[in-house]
Amino acid sequence: MRSDILGIAIGTVAAFTLLGTVTASASCPYPEGCAAPRPITDETFLNSMYLRGSVGYGVGSKPDVSIEGWSVDGLTRNGSIATSFGFGGWITPEWRAEVSVSPIFNSRIEYNAPSANVNGTIYSGGVRNASTIVPIMFDVYRDFDTKTPFRPYVGAGVGAAFSWSDLSANLSGGGTNIEYKVASSTSVGFAAAAMAGVAYDVSRNVSIDLGYKYLYVDQIQTKKDIAGYALTATSRQNSFNQFFLGARYRFE
């Protein structure tokens, strides 16, 4: 899976770099050549807009899950693919703001029951809640001009996280494997994030970005209607440590 993530990241960076190259070639139609590009300065970014994309990997915190107020122990959370896309612009040469969408795919909370010997046959089973989490946020960043192509940055954001969850149970043993879908539901919760990283200016328009994000999602809920009673499982205070590789294209 990590090799797939690396391949997607390289493809994303290559696409943005190619876009910048094609743009530069289109602006210089003369076979004898054009003037040298203008240097990148703080004023270069003022009042300009950008589009960015990143892909990476995230590791979630230990689950804090309760069912109708009763705490559930023995749960684990897997790592998952993380993506992030944003559109924004510079307010000043140092400050920029954007609207971002950062889907997390197949974030799973699992409980694996101890194996049991029933009449000489070993049985095992468990419960899994798989979620797609989509935070939509308003982010603000502070860029630091080092007078080199490297531009470190820090940022923070707030918004809402929309979650689509599937709860399933499985039982295996004696040559059989049974999986039963228990419930599917959607929920929404408060989301906040803190970011840090460094961008490298490949050209006036294209930057490669290596970044880290701490993402907090207040709650993810899964509901099941049983005989007219809504049974709710809630995962609270979900946090994710995410690492990204991406690229940013600036429009002039």
Domains of the chain: 2-251 (2.40.160.20)
User: Is the separation of the CB atoms in 137 and 100 below 8 Å?
Assistant: yes
Better-predicted residue by pLDDT, 215 or 77: 215
- In sequence order, the 6+-apart residues with CB closer than 8 A to the CB of 66 are 72, 233, 234, 236
Q: Is it the case that residue 201 has pLDDT exceeding 70?
A: yes
Model pTM score: 0.72
Residue pLDDT, tens place only, 6-51: 454 445 545 544 544 444 444 554 444 554 445 555 555 566 899 9
User: Is the separation of the CB atoms in 247 and 206 below 8 Å?
Assistant: yes
Residue pLDDT, tens place only, 139-184: 999 999 999 999 999 999 999 999 888 777 776 766 777 776 677 7
Question: Distance (Å, rounded) from C-alpha 44 to C-alpha 205?
Answer: 10
Residue pLDDT, tens place only, 101-142: 999 988 877 666 666 666 677 766 666 677 888 999 999 999
DSSP state string for 159-216: EEEEEEEEEEEEEEETTEEEEEEEEEEEEEEEEEEEEEEEEEESSSSEEEEEEEEEEE
Which pLDDT score is estimated for 238? 85
Question: Distance (Å, rounded) from C-alpha 63 to C-alpha 165?
Answer: 15
Specify the pairing of strand 70-72 against strand 150-173.
Answer: unpaired
For the chain, give the number of residues.
Answer: 252
Question: Distance (Å, rounded) from C-alpha 37 to C-alpha 53?
Answer: 25
Question: Distance (Å, rounded) from C-alpha 80 to C-alpha 129?
Answer: 13
> Residue 172: which of 121, 240, 238 has the closest Cα?
121
